[in-house]
Structure 1
Amino acid sequence: MPEEKRKYSYAEYMSWDEDFLCEVLDGEIISMSPSPTPKHQDVVDELTAEFKMFLRGKECMAFSSPIDVCLFAEHEMKYEEIKDWVQPDLIVVCDRSKIGEKNIIGAPDLVIEVLSPSTTKNDRLIKYKNYEKAGVREYWIVDPYHMSVEVYELNKNSFDRTGIYLKEDNVNVGVLEGFSINLGNIFKD
């Protein structure tokens, strides 16, 4: 198990107990969160169902947490060299070569984070900046308590917020042409 105030590699992480999940950026643990709340998990599950149904039979694939995303890794890197991995709530990967046997190698096309009280700072600041830097094409921040979705799209090297959507809205998925989600199916009173 990890010690505090130390830098870690993905190789070390892979040797730990399988039940231990954490996120690491620049070798430092940024999150060892408790299990998500039922409300959080319901929103993740509903979004996952929408993406899975739309993508069935298509090139892109959707994955829900826990799945390790090695944001800045490349295929030829050894696990000892990888110092960044996160576990977004939901991702879409359109380049199948990024899908490794144990993880995702490089930036997904879409990342969705569903806020929890314990993860809000990471999702809005730390992970936001790293997703932007890694080249994630589209980033959603979903607030299950206020029933809203903020959408950010990569414009050159930085995210532009392209909209804020509420329960009664439909959200177009920018990286997947022809796909729109009715948020009334995602958020429940």
Structure 2
Amino acid sequence: MAIPRNDSTLTYSEYLELGDDIRYEVIDGQVYNMSPAPSTKHQAIQRELLTEFNIYLRGKNCSVFGSPLDVCFTEEDNDIKKIKEWVEPDLVVVCDKDKIHEKRIVGVPDLVVEILSKSTAKKDKLIKFNRYQKAGVKEYWIVDPLHETIDVYLLQNGAYKHAGIYFKEDHIPVNLFEDFSIDLMNIFRDTDY
């Protein structure tokens, strides 16, 4: 199939008709191609973060999901033809079960993690940063695989406040949960690819 035009006319239902091997995000009417596949280092970091979140969240009300999974910033899923904006974060935590649908998240996740690559850094640090802030994502992490750091942003009064930068030797607190932190040595341990 042809790549859609970069305008606000592409709906989510049209996107779904393109096929399972086609991956796009649409943010503020702009279409972003999600290929090529991420590096093995990127995938190793994602795997380790998913593992840490999944172990902690077992038996709790929140769930963690990794890419590929569409997140539609809307409150209803009744008419997918009306959905004109969606993203595919590397990892999301959702604490409202009503937002979890069979093939997508519908609504705003509580926590989003994006793992930088050369082709996505500007989008993750600027475009998605602003979109997640506008949508009301409570906690946003930007992972830098090259420097082995994680920047944490917390939503306060409708705007993100930089809560800190965490390095490989640190434990990073997950602000959504008072009793949860992650040893970043576990996250960056297998990333010498």
Shared fold, TM over 0.5: yes
Aligned equivalents of 2:45, 2:34: Cα separation in 1: 21
SS at match of 1:20: coil
Q: 2:66: which partner in 1?
A: 64
* 1:18 aligned residue (17, 20, 29): 20
Aligned equivalents of 1:31, 1:131: Cα separation in 2: 19
* 1:53 aligned residue (37, 52, 55): 55
Q: 2:124: which partner in 1?
A: 123
Instruction: Return 7-16 or 42-51, whichever deviates more.
Output: 7-16
Aligned equivalents of 2:128, 2:142: Cα separation in 1: 11
AA aligned opposite 1:121? K
Instruction: Return 129-138 or 74-83, whichever deviates more.
Output: 74-83
In structure 1, runs of 5+ residues without a counterpart are none
TM-aligned CA deviation for residue 177 of structure 1 = 2.2
Q: 1:34: which partner in 2?
A: 36
For the aligned residues, what is the CA RMSD? 1.2
AA aligned opposite 1:178? D
Q: Note the alpha carbon deviations across 1:12-50, whole angstroms, 9 max, x for none.
A: 011111111111113321233310000010000000000
TM-aligned CA deviation for residue 76 of structure 1 = 5.2
List 4+ stretches of structure 1 deviating above 4 A. none
SS at match of 1:118: coil
TM-score by length of 2: 0.94
Q: Note the alpha carbon deviations across 1:133-173, whole angstroms, 9 max, x for none.
A: 00000000000110000000000110000000000000000
Percent identity of the aligned residues? 51
Aligned equivalents of 1:48, 1:176: Cα separation in 2: 16
Q: 2:160: which partner in 1?
A: 159
TM-aligned CA deviation for residue 5 of structure 1 = 3.0
TM-aligned CA deviation for residue 77 of structure 1 = 4.6
TM-score by length of 1: 0.95
For the 8 Å contact 1:30–1:122, the answer to whether it is kept is no
Aligned equivalents of 1:59, 1:15: Cα separation in 2: 33
In structure 2, runs of 5+ residues without a counterpart are none
Q: 2:186: which partner in 1?
A: 185
TM-aligned CA deviation for residue 179 of structure 1 = 0.5
